Amino acid sequence: MDDQTRMMTGLTGLGGLAQGDVGDPDSVRKQQSLGQPQQDIGDILQQIMAITDESLDEAQARKHALNCHRMKPALFNVLCEIKEKTVLSIRGVQEEDPPDPQIMRLDNMLLAEGVSGPEKGGGSAAAAAAAAAAGGSPTDSSIEHSDYRAKLAQIRQIYHSELEKYEQACSEFTNHVMNLLREQSRTRPISPKEIERMVAIIHRKFSSIQMQLKQSTCEAVMILRSRFLDARRKRRNFNKQATEVLNEYFYSHLSNPYPSEEAKEELAKKCGITVSQVSNWFGNKRIRYKKNIGKFQEEANLYAVKTAVDAANVSAQASQANSPATPNSGTLSCQASETDLQIERNNSSQLSW
């Protein structure tokens, strides 16, 4: 009721209808003595004000009558205008929200994980079938892989069905509200613009729900990933050839076993592993070698011989270039036969790294 009174008060101050009467308690009485149009408006307002005191049937009839009144469109416009200027302008200022960075991050992740976006290779059914099929030929990794994919497909399916549900609910609700407002706009000052804004509000609400869905889907995927693909949990030893390549490099650069970035890349390519795996390997190798040189003597000797043979094959040119660095491998092969603690200690003190 308060709103209504305010709008009425506003109305008298607008559109040239009884301009001097704002807030005057006698305005109604005064209006009644004015000319025909003003009196019409006054009557209508009176009727509107009184409508809540009437019985339902009376009100219904009155509503119909008012609705057909010739002044109705004009009055409707004016009321809309006032409403626009008072109520809506206050909270309607919420700027058109730009794509939320948070939701964009979630979207990107879901896309990257293959949860949203185009389905790959026939989707969940195919993945499940693959998982089932893999049961027959048990290559360890293939089981895990298809199991992972099946789970991912499950998440994907849930995500999509939920998303669809939300979208459907959103459009149903929007329609409902729009119809309601359209219906009401016959008796209440509701402009199309306001309906539009209402729809935007609804969409925002629903998109925040969708964000929650996306968030929990992301979490589920992360958990799945850590369960199945976390390299630390499912550690595989490098193959023999890879460790051989790495050891060869390590022992032939024993005086300075710090491969450059390029060398790491080269090694990574040779071994079929990543550069950071190469870094990890050298980090581990250095520390473990340094901690217990004795344990590694045999290995060191083996690779020293190997590189010596290689060096011989490659001929003098290489050994010349490496001369400041290579003596170490020579000393190592001499020491290899002796394994007492003192030698080990000496050895460790020889290391410059």
Partner DNA sequence: CCGTATGATTTCTA
Partner DNA sequence: TAGAAATCATACGG
Residue 236, classed as helix, strand or coil, is coil
The number of residues in the chain equals: 353
| Among positions 63, 238, 311, 350, the unique one binding DNA when judged by CB under 7 A | 238
Rounded to a whole number of angstroms, the CA Rg of the chain reads 41
Q: What is the DSSP letter of 211?
A: H
Q: Does 270 bind DNA (CB under 7 A)?
A: no
Q: Is the dihedral of CA 268, 271, 272, 276 positive or negative?
A: negative
Q: Does 6 bind DNA (CB under 7 A)?
A: no
| Among positions 64, 182, 186, 295, the unique one binding DNA when judged by CB under 7 A | 295
Site string for DNA, 126-165 (x = CB under 7 A): ----------------------------------------
3-state helix, strand, coil in the chain (%, to 5): 75, 0, 25
**Of 250, 242, 288, the residue nearest 268 (C-alpha):** 242
Using the contact rule CB under 7 A, the part of the chain among 79-87, 131-139, 214-222, 270-278 near DNA is 270-278
Strands of 227-280, DSSP E: none
Q: Does 352 bind DNA (CB under 7 A)?
A: no
Q: Does 235 bind DNA (CB under 7 A)?
A: yes
Applying CB under 7 A, the site for DNA has a residue count of: 25
213: which 2 tokens?
A: 């869905």
- Per DSSP, the residues of 144-208 read HHHHHHHHHHHHHHHHHHHHHHHHHHHHHHHHHHHHHHHHHTTTS---HHHHHHHHHHHHHHHHH
Q: Does 258 bind DNA (CB under 7 A)?
A: yes
- The Cα 216–Cα 110 span in angstroms is 11
Using the contact rule CB under 7 A, the part of the chain among 28-36, 119-127, 128-136, 224-232 near DNA is 224-232
**Of 157, 164, 162, the residue nearest 115 (C-alpha):** 157
| Among positions 1, 90, 93, 287, the unique one binding DNA when judged by CB under 7 A | 287
Using the contact rule CB under 7 A, the part of the chain among 6-14, 43-51, 211-219, 279-287 near DNA is 279-287
Q: Does 240 bind DNA (CB under 7 A)?
A: no
84: which 2 tokens?
A: 């626009």
Residue 286 beta carbon to DNA: minimum distance, rounded to whole angstroms: 4
| Among positions 56, 93, 231, 316, the unique one binding DNA when judged by CB under 7 A | 231
Q: Does 280 bind DNA (CB under 7 A)?
A: yes
Q: Which is nearer to DNA, 196 or 258 (CB)?
A: 258
- The Cα 68–Cα 54 span in angstroms is 19
Residue 260, Ramachandran bin (φ over 0: left; ψ between -120 and 50: alpha; else beta): beta
- The Cα 150–Cα 142 span in angstroms is 12
Q: Does 339 bind DNA (CB under 7 A)?
A: no
Q: Which is nearer to DNA, 150 or 273 (CB)?
A: 273
Q: Which is nearer to DNA, 41 or 293 (CB)?
A: 293
Q: Does 100 bind DNA (CB under 7 A)?
A: no
Return residues touching DNA (CB under 7 A).
230-238, 243, 258, 273, 276-277, 279-281, 283-284, 286-288, 290, 295, 353
